Amino acid sequence: MLNLLLESERAGALALEQLASEVEPEKLRRFLLGARDEEARNAASLEALIRDNGGTPSDKVGPFAARVAALESVRDRLNLMSRGQEWVARKAEEALALAPPEGPIHDYLQAMANRHRAEVEWGRAEVIRLLNADK
């Protein structure tokens, strides 16, 4: 499960990187690059968490980035990104249910699920605002 999340966060970082290079409004681009950095930080934390607990971190990138890239419009890609965040939140919650009831894996997954839930709400509103700014 942690490797699935790791691959997904990597895919998110890659998708955001590609998307940021294609959007027009400068503020939206900066917002997406900030989100990319966050995904990359999550991936690094998950790698460390897996390693510290005796696992082997995957070196793969999830299929999500290719799905985003396959869409025509920036708006559709942004919408899929938001659904991806929701998916990760759900997977983090599923992983949390399987994790030991306390300790670093539990704490990380709890924080990760909360962050993703918050980002889905806030990110959607922010993207709509920034898409219409700077025009």
Q: Within positions 21 to 60, which residues make up the interface with Fe ion, using CB under 5 A?
A: 39
Q: Within positions 70 to 99, which residues make up the interface with Fe ion, using CB under 5 A?
A: 88
Tokens representing residue 94 in the block: 């599923």
Of 105, 126, 114, nearest in space to 85 by CA: 114
Q: Which is nearer to Fe ion, 12 or 62 (CB)?
A: 12
For residue 135, the minimal CB distance to Fe ion (Å) is 28
Answer yes or no whether residue 12 interacts with Fe ion by CB under 5 A. yes
Answer yes or no whether residue 62 interacts with Fe ion by CB under 5 A. no
Which residue matches tokens 């390693």?
51
Answer yes or no whether residue 123 interacts with Fe ion by CB under 5 A. no
- CA 1 to chain CA centroid, nearest Å: 15
Question: Number of C-alpha atoms within 13 angstroms, CB side, residue 104?
Answer: 9
Q: Which residues are near Fe ion by CB under 5 A?
A: 12, 39, 88
